[in-house]
Structure 1
């Protein structure tokens, strides 16, 4: 098949949805399919390039809010037309958020990672950024509803996301829950998993954004460091909350114990960080099914996660610990349990690795998408 994957996040990937689409594209090319990825134009990036047999297109993007998506949609339409005339095209696969697709003669598969209605509701109004995002929300929701109406096939990454789509008028039987995947050739357990207990750090990876619950993590770290001063917390990622989080770290006098490492491009280095962590902490207030959580589990890392969204699909009492969101004291208690009981932490980590290998490798998730593509193609033919 000749497949166009359309997304709004940068390539090369630097966050969850980008890695999701990139890994799916790699799987599809390995299976002999031709893949074109269309994203937004960025400065210093070529409008077209080919990387690992994947065609990457970056049509013009104007930041004219709130009409930026409509303007970009015009250039996406031109790009799709160029691809169809030059290479041929069988199917379009759109990944939310904030993507516009014109009426198309091709089957359209839409993957909803997080519905805009729920996503923006999780953003607090205490900053100018939060207020601007909330003001833009009605435009975003209308765009998302229109995209869902165009879809031949709707897929999501988590059960909770499928449930949230009911508020858009999408019926449960119209949605395929396909999950998220992990590159298990890069993210896999260490030969000796108990080596992790020598380095004494906890790891969190993700965009530094309000819904990630990172402020709760820092409050929890402040409480834990009083009792366990030899431990550190490492936070990997970039985003609008970086300065706020650094101020909070300084306020609690945690500069020697909590580090913001920024974005890490090197996936092998990131995998080694997961393998060396005492535990992976996922304090989110809202998520779809985050790639970083699955990567940590794939590396055999014990996890403490808030009981929200996609984490509920993956984490069980045998492979991780779920805690109430917005509750730093609960987070603190769970982390303390892993410090005090390394045997329990080791058992959880080993089962986490098995869970990902059995159910969330890209070979498994990719096959589910190929089945969805086949159904979408048959739907159009009918």
Structure 2
């Protein structure tokens, strides 16, 4: 759930005369306007940039995501379709309806996001002339919230994602390399992006939450087991002093896990469980934090880590490969701890909080590095080029 964004220019040059304008369907995201969810923000950033270049972008939205029923956002056409609002059928039911609607709309590109929605990819791949693209945002088949049957279905979705799409996009180099080993069709790395944050943000929302500017550790994300917020709460309990911990996020069909987190938080009066927070309020929490922590067991490429770094916050992350891609070289402003190691996370927290001046100096340089390496404009350029290259290739057998 990215923070408030600066209003940057979308005045892109029009597509060259030899490049046709495309009709693009986006399927798999919950919908727009984006509130919580990294995939939703990914689609929002990508979609509005492609629409600004003249392409017709349609985002298929779940009726249970937002209360508004807008026809368009930032030039992106929205189609609201019903779904089955349960843990196991929400994404699949909506993706099937969206795929049928997309076939009727005769798009040039049908672009799926995440593993589960890609179960429907064989329909446009074999029943239409549309080119099928799938972006892999993470290892959905390994998430702890799924039971045995759901994991089996997602393993099937993983196999389909390896064999069906005309092209696969990995948001991290780690994901892309995994797919490149098993695919003989285009497999490309197009990372997430981050925008330069607002230069100033009022501390009032921070103070209202019982926090003090520069005196709290921040986590932002869905409260699901693979984010390892329980590990963070346990490690933080061993950090002495008046520093506080702000946990921003809520349940994603994980109410039992969230209840356990609330029990851990209740044992430490310094912890603030804030729920989902958006816009200017979230920008304020980023802007005035002392440290950002990403303790995850499993990730694709977390937008929150990119955002925390873009604000010039000293960041601490688990030793996952995708986190190492962001924290390219460990040092002041960017620290890693052994994934799953509560004691090591506690030690790193104590060390960073005890040397904040040096850590902040290093974090400012890292902010510019991340803003240079992770660009939504570059992501849109590469995605658009991929679409055109697929359509320029010889027609495939159906």
- Could you state the TM-score of these two structures normalised by the residue count of structure 1? 0.84
Aligned residues: 353
Paired with 1:26 and 1:307, the residues of 2 have a C-alpha distance of 33
Q: Is it true that 1:11 corresponds to 2:32 in the alignment?
A: yes
Q: Is it true that 1:356 corresponds to 2:370 in the alignment?
A: yes
RMSD over equivalenced CA pairs, Å: 2.6
Q: Is it true that 1:286 corresponds to 2:298 in the alignment?
A: yes
Aligned counterparts, 1:212-361, within 5 A: 212-224=227-239, 227-228=240-241, 230-239=242-251, 240=254, 241-250=257-266, 253-254=267-268, 256-266=269-279, 268-315=280-327, 316-318=329-331, 319-361=333-375
The aligned residue for residue 80 of structure 1 is 102
Greater share of helix: 1
For structure 2, the 5+ residue unaligned runs are 1-21, 202-210
For structure 1, the 5+ residue unaligned runs are 124-129
Paired with 2:86 and 2:345, the residues of 1 have a C-alpha distance of 41
1:304, CA displacement in angstroms? 0.4
Paired with 2:365 and 2:66, the residues of 1 have a C-alpha distance of 43
1:213, CA displacement in angstroms? 0.9
Paired with 1:339 and 1:66, the residues of 2 have a C-alpha distance of 41
Spell out, residue by residue over 1:59-104, the C-alpha distance to the aligned partner (whole angstroms, 9 max, x if none): 23235886766654442233113433xxxx3212111131123133
Aligned counterparts, 1:1-382, within 5 A: 1-13=22-34, 14-42=36-64, 45=67, 49-62=71-84, 71-84=93-106, 89-99=107-117, 100-101=120-121, 102-103=123-124, 104-117=128-141, 119-120=142-143, 123=144, 130=145, 133-165=147-179, 169-170=182-183, 174-184=186-196, 187=197, 198-224=213-239, 227-228=240-241, 230-239=242-251, 240=254, 241-250=257-266, 253-254=267-268, 256-266=269-279, 268-315=280-327, 316-318=329-331, 319-379=333-393, 381=395
The runs of at least 4 consecutive aligned structure 1 residues that moved more than 6 Å come to none
1:143, CA displacement in angstroms? 2.7
Give secondary structure in 2 for the equivalent of 1:203. strand
Give secondary structure in 2 for the equivalent of 1:204. strand
Paired with 2:66 and 2:364, the residues of 1 have a C-alpha distance of 43
- Could you state the TM-score of these two structures normalised by the residue count of structure 2? 0.81
Q: 1:248 to 1:145 in 2, by over 3 A?
A: same
Contact 2:309 2:315 in 1 (8 A): yes
